[in-house]
Amino acid sequence: EQPIEFLSGGNQQKVLLSRWLLTKPQFLILDEPTRGIDVGAHAEIIRLIETLCADGLALLVISSELEELVGYADRVIIMRDRRQVAEIPLDKLSVPAIMNAIAA
């Protein structure tokens, strides 16, 4: 055992997610959950997000990783200046659709 501050960034992310999940939340907000972590931890966190989605947990994921979002999101909402400017439903969800909405 070691204090969390001595763990790698990916392991810190996993510890925090584990602690939050112990509370059995109905809703989670994840802000850039895979930013700045190693490839192995990245894959583990993506698998966990996909499992949580499949299990029906409500997730709000804030991410600049568009390919990831397309892989697990059921919709993407684009915000600009604290306002919603676009919403892309699952049947239209793709990286180009997100990029077009961002550029509009």
Q: What is the pLDDT of residues 31-81, one digit of tens each?
A: 998 888 888 888 888 898 889 888 889 999 999 999 989 988 999 999 999
Q: Where are the alpha helices (DSSP H) in the chain?
A: 9-22, 39-54, 66-72, 95-103
pTM of the model: 0.77
Note the pLDDT of residue 74. 92
If asked whether residues 19 and 41 sit together in one domain, one would say yes
Domain count, the chain: 2
Query: CA angle, corner 71, sides to 65 and 76, nearest 5?
Result: 65
Name the pLDDT band for 29 (thresholds 50, 70, 90): very high
Note the pLDDT of residue 35. 86
d(CA 28, CA 17): 10
User: What CATH number corresponds to the domain at position 54?
Assistant: 3.40.50.300
Residue whose tokens read 């931890």? 41
The CA radius of gyration of the chain, in Å to the nearest whole number, is: 15
Average pLDDT estimate for 11-18? 82
Assess if residue 79 is contained within a domain.
Answer: yes
d(CA 9, CA 33): 11
**Percentage with pLDDT > 90 across the chain:** 47
Cα of first residue to Cα of last residue in the chain, in angstroms, is 50
